[in-house]
Chain A
Amino acid sequence: MSDNKKRELQVAALENGTAIDHIPPEQLFKVAYLLQLEKLVDKTITIGNNFYSKKMGRKGVIKIANKFFGKDEISRIALVAPNVILNEIRDFEVVKKYPVTLPDELVALVKCNNPKCITNNEPMATRFTVLDKEKGTIKCRYCERKINKEDIIIK
């Protein structure tokens, strides 16, 4: 078999659904967690890791049959994996392909790293404004602290 053919067979083909590609291998399970895949009990899900990638050496892939994500649902994964590519597949064809970017606001997703912030002392949802989608800097709506991407703590 040719290398190409072998690579294609690594992951089962998807008739309808979403393929999330180019996930950094070390972030794969975080991405699965952020997407709350454990709640999609009626969907067939294929998770694969350490596939060969020309671009990034190794990569992770998640395929979910018959599931299409809303923009807000999916954009949260940009927190841990900024260059992930989303493929929407219908009838075995990729009908939409786009990189995942951060939303304007992150709700109930990130923990504020200021211990004196009201959100860490009251049962309430955190809200962060995304200041820079490229750099991944965010700002707490409440204590107004700015947090850089590398210091972001996911709840």
Chain B
Amino acid sequence: MKGKSLVSIDQCSKGDILRILENAGKFEENPNRTLLEGKVAATLFFEPSTRTRLSFETAVNRLGGRVIGFQDASTTSSSKGETLKDTILMVSNYADLIIMRHYLEGAARYASEVTDVPVINAGDGANQHPSQTLLDLYSIQKTQGQLTDLTITIVGDLKYGRTVHSLIVGMSHFNPTFHFIAPEELRMPDEQKNLCDKLGINYTEHTVFTEDIINQSDILYMTRVQRERFTDLEEYERVKNIYILKNDMLKGSRDNLRILHPLPRVNEIAYDVDDNPKAYFIQQAHNGLFTRQAIICEVLGITELI
């Protein structure tokens, strides 16, 4: 991996991704390994995210390491006006690894520049969240038996959805075919489409979410369509129910189709889908633990998984 911190999925080569996923598989077989004995990880959550923090802290604990940190920046010195740099340098005196989430974009990259301690970005505003991408890739590989030559349909907010943009970057090494389904206002930005064009990746854009597209897909990746993203609220009212997945839309789908969602969901997946064996979003979140164990070992340079 380029650099010893994981800030963005762009820094992972195909080889890096495959190695991390392979190690995640080993942690799924046996998550309890004492690879971090005597090591301290700091989880700095300048913005609360219970889901992500518990996943990372469990990963450290199952590796035999210890955790320090905070989950609410209002109780820390940063609320007294301390700079991010000073907070990071202070924590660097105590920890072997920093796992941080911040509401400001670029915070993790900056932190990785001011300290020699490896930094894992657990989300920086609307920018990057590479452990989410790697757990998505792990879930895809695990359910499909491979990452190559898959048809992936992504539905919802494709304009602001950072997980979606990173998923495209992560999958770009594996010859995917994409279907992008979004309302006009939330279409996939040119930057991502240009990347696909440059790499010769096939994609089709749609505004209507049809069974026909579902039936061609191996992976259906659902995301939230949030009201606050719309400038035109009439447009929101018009489209809000178009991008909801209901169980009867899956009747003609492939046997290997799996439905992913970065969670939390609001109403974009109807509850009658939950009992369908093709619904995978709960297991997907569980895979986050193994993937994060593999990421922690990767940034600390632990290659022998005893």
- Interface of chain A, helix or strand or loop or mixed? loop
- Assembly CA distance A117 to B103 (angstroms): 9
A123 pairs with B83, CB closer than 8 A:
yes
B85 pairs with A143, CB closer than 8 A:
no
What residues of B have a CB within 8 angstroms of the CB of A12 in the complex?
none
- Assembly CA distance A90 to B135 (angstroms): 62
Residue of chain A at shortest CB distance from B102: A118
CB distance from A148 to the nearest CB of B (A): 12
Cβ of A114 < 8 Å from any Cβ of B? yes
A116 pairs with B110, CB closer than 8 A:
no
A121 pairs with B104, CB closer than 8 A:
yes
- Assembly CA distance A116 to B8 (angstroms): 17
Q: A123-B83, A143-B127, A144-B127 are in contact. Are A118 and B191 (CB under 8 A)?
A: no
B126 pairs with A118, CB closer than 8 A:
no
CB distance from A146 to the nearest CB of B (A): 7
A142 pairs with B83, CB closer than 8 A:
no
B83 pairs with A140, CB closer than 8 A:
no
A117 pairs with B106, CB closer than 8 A:
yes
Interface centre among A117, A122, A144 (most CB of B within 10 A): A144
B105 pairs with A122, CB closer than 8 A:
no
Cβ of B150 < 8 Å from any Cβ of A? no
Q: A116-B125, A118-B110 are in contact. Are A142 and B191 (CB under 8 A)?
A: no
Q: A124-B85, A143-B127 are in contact. Are A119 and B106 (CB under 8 A)?
A: yes
Residue of chain A at shortest CB distance from B114: A124
B85 pairs with A122, CB closer than 8 A:
yes
In-complex Cβ contact of B105 among A116, A123, A146 (8 A): A116
In-complex Cβ contact of A144 among B84, B104, B105 (8 A): B105
In-complex Cβ contact of A143 among B83, B84, B106 (8 A): B106
Q: A116-B103, A118-B104 are in contact. Are A142 and B85 (CB under 8 A)?
A: no
Cβ of B269 < 8 Å from any Cβ of A? no
B107 pairs with A118, CB closer than 8 A:
yes
Cβ of B26 < 8 Å from any Cβ of A? no
Cβ of B109 < 8 Å from any Cβ of A? yes
B109 pairs with A141, CB closer than 8 A:
yes
Taken residue by residue from 93 to 108, chain B's Cβ proximity to chain A (1 for < 8 Å, 0 otherwise) reads as 0000000001111110
In the complex, besides A122-B84, A122-B85, 6 extra interface pairs with C-beta distance below 8 angstroms are A116-B103, A116-B125, A117-B104, A142-B107, A143-B105, A143-B124
Residues of A with Cβ closer than 8 Å to B?
114, 116-119, 121-124, 140-146
Going nearest first, the 8 A-B pairs with the smallest beta carbon separation are A142-B106, A143-B105, A118-B106, A143-B106, A118-B104, A118-B107, A118-B110, A116-B125
Residues of B with Cβ closer than 8 Å to A?
8, 83-85, 102-107, 109-110, 124-128, 191
11 contacts between A and B (CB under 8 A): A116-B103, A116-B105, A116-B126, A117-B106, A118-B84, A118-B104, A118-B107, A119-B106, A122-B104, A144-B8, A144-B106
